[in-house]
Every structure is written in structure tokens, then in C-alpha cells.
Amino acid sequence: MKPIRKLAFVVNEEKAGASTLARELIAVARRAGVKLKRTSRFRLPTGWLRGWDACCVIGGDGTLLGVARESARAQVPIIGVNRGSLGFLTTFSADEARAQFAALLGGAFRVEHRAMLDCSTGPGDHDLALNDVLIKDEINSRLVHLEVVADGELVTDYTCDGLIFSTPTGSTAYNLSAGGPLLHPTAPVIAMTPICPHTLSNRSIIFRDHVRLRVFNRSAESRLLVAMDGQRNLKVGTRSPVAITIAKLRLPLAQRLDHSHFAVVREKLKWSGGFAEKRG
């Protein structure tokens, strides 16, 4: 990749060690003559990344999710440095960032373009999600009756606690916790996973990436909550369907040149991988 000459930092100062690490990486960038700016806000204002070469996010996956929409709109790659817990998205550890930052600034990284979901709940109510769209009753303890239609064809209806629509990137998040499948991040699909369905045969369904999904609320006394990446909610009219498609925009995510998705999964999910380790 081209060298980074203009670098924005987004630092979650609530994460232990994030501020100290940011100062170290900023010092490296200054010595390299890179133009810098920094914020601790990770719901970025519209246009904040426009014209910058990259954005270094220091925090957890939630911090990165707060930057993802603006990164996708500006097509500015995110360099995610993990100071949270699992860190499926923020794939650089603090030690890796310290050791490799000068090389990263010189262009020693590759960019993966990750699919995002486009969700609409009515005119003017529209948002993007990198991980998932959750549809549930706005009261946590209440079951909801949802009908799912794909490209105009009825799929099925669910009585459940909710539905998770996940990108491949988000398959390791809420989808995984709810019993959904792990998907390779470049797979051209959407996963739909019901939460605690009242029919045991109802399992996850995998749709092709250019499907047009609509979800209808068939619960007479319920109002729906639609959560985008667990961070933002959309309003839903009583008669409006929730429409979900793959977004036209994709998130540019910077990765190490030797990045391995399955190595990350093995590490984060603590798979034994006995044969793989012995072969190495």
C-alpha cells in the first residue's frame, strides 16, 4: 500500500493502557513526518475522516464499530489496535503495533474490504452496520412474532426473542453467542439467526449477499427495536417492515501482510488446534 502521510487517531481512553499506547504511536508517526489528528470520540462527526489516509483506532471492537460507518463513507482504512477483550476486529495487539508501526506507516499492510448491512425502517430511518442488525421487541422480556420475506418470497415466521442478521465479519459476535455459524469474512452471504425460537427446528439460515430481506412485525401489541451493531437504534413504525440488504459501501480494514483469519479465530476462541500446532 501507499505510505501513510495523514493519520487520524481515535482513542478509547477508558481502556487500560490506550492513552499511553496512543502517545507512543503518535511519537513514531511524528518522527516519520506524518500529519496527525486525534479524538477520544468514537461516534465520529460526518466528514471527520474525509481526505485522510488512514485511521488508527485504539480500543476494543466496540470502539472500532463506532468508527466503521464514517470510515466506510470516507473509504479511509482502519488500523485497529486492541486494548479491549477479544479483539476480532482490532487485530493488532499493542506489542505488534509498537513493533510494526513504522512499517505500517511505510505501507506494509493490506486492506480487506468488509461487507456491511444497510437497514431501513421507513422513510429517513436508515443506517449501516458492520457486524449485525438485531430485531426484537422493545421490551426485553417479551416474545415477538416476526415474519421474514426474501426477494418477495415468504421464508418463515418466528415466535422468538428476536432475530440477528449478521455479516460474515459479525458472525463471531452476537450471532456466534446465539448459536449461529462462523463465516469467513469474505464469504458473500448474510446469516439470519433466531434468538431462542419456540420451534426447535428453526436454525440459522444463510442468504446470498444480494438478497433483499424484509421483516414484518406480526405481534399485535408489540413495538420493535432495531439495534445496529449494538450501538444505535432505529425507530420502527407499527406497520413498517424492516428492510435489510448488503450495503453498497464496504469497510476498508487494514491487516498485517501475514494476517490469517483462522489463526485469529483459533486464538480468540481458544481452539485446541493440536495437529495445526504440531505441524507448525
C-alpha cell, 145: 412474532
pLDDT value of position 267: 84
Give the least confident one: 7-21, 30-44, 82-96.
82-96
Give pLDDT, residue 275: 55
> Rounded distance, CA 266 to CA 139, Å?
36
Query: b/e string for 61-77 if b means 16 or more Cβ within 10 A?
Result: bbbbbbbbbbbbbbebb
Predicted pLDDT at 140: 76
Q: Which residues contact 263 (CB under 8 A, 6 or more apart)?
A: none
CA gap 250, 71 in Å, rounded? 9
The 8 Å CB, 24+ separation contacts for 35-40 are 35/5, 35/6, 35/7, 36/7, 36/8, 36/9, 37/8, 37/9, 38/8, 38/9, 38/10, 38/11, 39/8, 39/9, 39/10, 39/11, 40/10, 40/11, 40/12, 40/13
User: How many Cβ atoms from other residues are within 10 Å of residue 26's Cβ?
Assistant: 18
In this prediction, residue 23 carries a pLDDT of 98
- Cell readout for 5 is 502521510
Alpha carbons within 13 angstroms on the beta-carbon side of residue 54 total 25
In the predicted model, what is the mean pLDDT of the chain? 93
Above 90 in pLDDT, residue 183? yes
pLDDT at residue 279 above 70? no
Distance CA 129, CA 259 (A): 23
- Catalytic annotation, residues: 61
* Domains along the chain with CATH numbers: 6-109+256-279 (3.40.50.10330), 116-248 (2.60.200.30)
The verdict on pTM exceeding 0.85 is yes
The DSSP code sequence of 210-231 is T--EEEEE--TT--EEEEETTT
Taking each helix axis from N to C end, the angle separating 94-105 and 18-31, rounded to the nearest 10 degrees, works out to 20
Residue 276 has pLDDT above 60, yes or no: no
Q: What is the pLDDT of residue 235?
A: 85
User: What is the arithmetic mean of pLDDT over 115-122?
Assistant: 96
Average pLDDT of span 31-46: 95
Separation between Cα atoms, residue 192 and residue 203, nearest integer Å: 9
> What tens digit of pLDDT does each residue of 221-272 get?
888 999 999 999 998 877 789 999 999 999 999 999 988 888 888 888 888 7
**3-state SS, residue 35:** strand
